[in-house]
Amino acid sequence: MFSLSITPRFSETDALGHINNTVVPVWFESAREPIFKIFNPNLDLSKWNLIVAKIDVSFIAQMDYQAETEIRTYVEKLGNSSLTLKQQVVQNDKVAAEGFCTLVKFNYDVQKSEPIDDTERKKLLEHQFQA
Amino acid sequence: MFSLSITPRFSETDALGHINNTVVPVWFESAREPIFKIFNPNLDLSKWNLIVAKIDVSFIAQMDYQAETEIRTYVEKLGNSSLTLKQQVVQNDKVAAEGFCTLVKFNYDVQKSEPIDDTERKKLLEHQFQA
Amino acid sequence: MFSLSITPRFSETDALGHINNTVVPVWFESAREPIFKIFNPNLDLSKWNLIVAKIDVSFIAQMDYQAETEIRTYVEKLGNSSLTLKQQVVQNDKVAAEGFCTLVKFNYDVQKSEPIDDTERKKLLEHQFQA
Amino acid sequence: MFSLSITPRFSETDALGHINNTVVPVWFESAREPIFKIFNPNLDLSKWNLIVAKIDVSFIAQMDYQAETEIRTYVEKLGNSSLTLKQQVVQNDKVAAEGFCTLVKFNYDVQKSEPIDDTERKKLLEHQFQA
């Protein structure tokens, strides 16, 4: 599991007094940084090699501005050139939102997917979800 | 169908040179405004009565900063107290991203769902998806 | 004057029930698009030639989510390689926020400023602020 | 001085390959949280008592996605009911952006400013800017 600690920003609240639902995909993307580094250790923008194919988010409980927040990121599934992550927003020891994200290893130069190699695969498998 | 025209903002691009994927949930939320008005005609924040239960987005093609963008919103499914919308990002006559959003009619005072009434139902059915 | 019509987004509100103050720089940047086009008619990202040197915003009145919003952009001052814009958020015929933005014509390849040419100058002068 | 450590988010970059300039006001607002807590220790949204009167930001150097980032916040000036903060974005030991923010202690119920009291004043003075 990868864990990212987040302090909610005031600008991330909305008029209903909680964290706006569009913020969760932003938090989840920021929590994927260690995944980005497995594929691109220096986060070199000219060598970016991941593309997002699909995301979903289930909103389980209202998220508070005042609560320290943890984003948990697990590897859920590992395919030939794609992987699916499970990500959670945890506040006060409860999962407030949960989602999946499918990423594809992608060669932007030739605009085609590429197989995940063994080194990447090994690192990813260390972060698998265990129920 | 509801149609919203959007001019992508420079701040919505990312370092890969296209619209960042976290922007699509923001665009989709803004395109749900006519749905909000069916449930709350004056968008009165003290009478808000919708909650987002789930969203998903499939990213089909890279989205360009320079392209005029249309967000199409359809009613896909209508339950007792919930509804599912289908929403699309259209650029250059092609669907670049597509997703579903499940909303629940919700009474924030008692923190419980409420049935969608006949007036709301009638208006929603005018915007059903026809394949 | 350049005028941009904006429908505030729900995600742009904050827990105090109005538009969050960090949204105004985003609106102002989006309203500078016609300025970008004077310097780069096709908004070609590989030929970008403007850099922001300074912004300021004065917050005059609370901004409402429900109000149709106009962003007004004027050319305030025109230097050799820089220009200063005056921008306003107008809701219900009142200026709710106002700010200045100094842009510099910039050659990213050589990382140096460049003089604003006569064609650009002529177009900019058509949008000067008249008190 | 208050110091906040920030890991830039991929969604905060723009198509020019650096952090978008509209992100700095967002970072600065998030770095004002300890100031909010001086005026409202539990960040109780129903007792919010600060309003932003003015912000400005000078952009000094391009900000990198890959660089660990520190936001420094100092009390620059302390008036009867208002205070001015000086805030900086520091990357690789250099100030990349700098700005001022004027806040007013504000009673939302009566929509009027209020004097900063002695307890608040004492805490604020501990974080004054020393050149």
Residues of chain A contacting D9 with CB distance shorter than 8 Å: 26, 29-30
Can you list the residues of chain D whose pLDDT is less than 50? none
- Please judge whether C10 and B17 are an interchain contact, meaning their C-beta atoms are less than 8 angstroms apart: no
CA distance B119 to A77: 44
Q: What is the pLDDT of residue D71?
A: 98
Q: What is the pLDDT of residue D98?
A: 98
Task: Give average pLDDT by consecutive 10-residue segment, chain C, 131 residues.
Answer: 97 97 98 98 95 98 97 97 98 98 95 96 91 63
- Please judge whether B11 and D17 are an interchain contact, meaning their C-beta atoms are less than 8 angstroms apart: no
- Amino acid code (one letter) for D59: F
> Would you say the pTM of this structure is higher than 0.90?
yes
For B89-98, write each residue's pLDDT tens digit: 999 999 999 9
Confirm or reject contact between D125 and chain C (CB < 8 A): no
Distance from CA of D31 to the nearest CA of B (A): 21
For B52-84, write each residue's pLDDT tens digit: 999 999 999 999 999 999 999 999 999 999 999
- Please judge whether D14 and B18 are an interchain contact, meaning their C-beta atoms are less than 8 angstroms apart: no
Check residue D119 and report its DSSP letter. H
Q: What is the pLDDT of residue D131?
A: 63
Q: Tell me what ipTM this predicted complex has.
A: 0.96
CA distance D115 to D79: 9
- Please judge whether B21 and A15 are an interchain contact, meaning their C-beta atoms are less than 8 angstroms apart: no
Where does the pLDDT of residue B129 fall: very low under 50, low under 70, confident under 90, or very high at 90 and above? confident
Q: Over range B22-42, report the average pLDDT.
A: 98
The full DSSP string for chain C is -EEEEE---GGGB-TTSSB-TTHHHHHHHHHTHHHHHHHSTT--GGG--EEEEEEEEEE-SPPPSSS-EEEEEEEEEE-SSEEEEEEEEEETTEEEEEEEEEEEEEETTTTEE----HHHHHHHHTTB---
Residues of chain D contacting C57 with CB distance shorter than 8 Å: 54-56
Burial label, B83 (beta-carbon count in 10 A; 0-12, 13-18, 19+): buried
CA distance C74 to C84: 9
Mean pLDDT of chain B: 96
Residues of chain D contacting C45 with CB distance shorter than 8 Å: 15-16
Confirm or reject contact between D45 and chain B (CB < 8 A): no
Q: What is the pLDDT of residue D129?
A: 79
Going residue by residue through chain A, which has 131 residues, state the pLDDT in tens, using 9 for 90 and above: 999 999 999 999 999 999 999 999 999 999 999 999 999 999 999 999 999 999 999 999 999 999 999 999 999 999 999 999 999 999 999 999 999 999 999 998 899 999 999 999 999 999 997 76
- If you measure CA to CA, which chain C residue comes closest to D28? C22
The full DSSP string for chain B is -EEEEE---GGGB-TTSSB-TTHHHHHHHHHTHHHHHHHSTT--GGG--EEEEEEEEEE-SPPPSSS-EEEEEEEEEE-SSEEEEEEEEEETTEEEEEEEEEEEEEETTTTEE----HHHHHHHHTTB---
Residues 55-94 of A with CB under 8 A from C: 65
Residues of chain D contacting B65 with CB distance shorter than 8 Å: 15
Mean pLDDT of chain C: 96
Q: What is the pLDDT of residue B131?
A: 64
Give the count of beta carbons closer than 10 Å to the beta carbon of residue D124: 17
- If you measure CA to CA, which chain D residue comes closest to B65? D15
- Amino acid code (one letter) for D108: Y
Q: Over range B40-51, report the average pLDDT.
A: 96
Confidence check: pLDDT of B130 > 90: no
- Please judge whether A14 and C13 are an interchain contact, meaning their C-beta atoms are less than 8 angstroms apart: yes
Among residues D27, D32, D36, D101, which one has the least CA distance to residue D63?
Answer: D27
What six digits make up the tokens of B35?
A: 């749905």
Q: What is the pLDDT of residue A1?
A: 94
What six digits make up the tokens of B9?
A: 């903002």
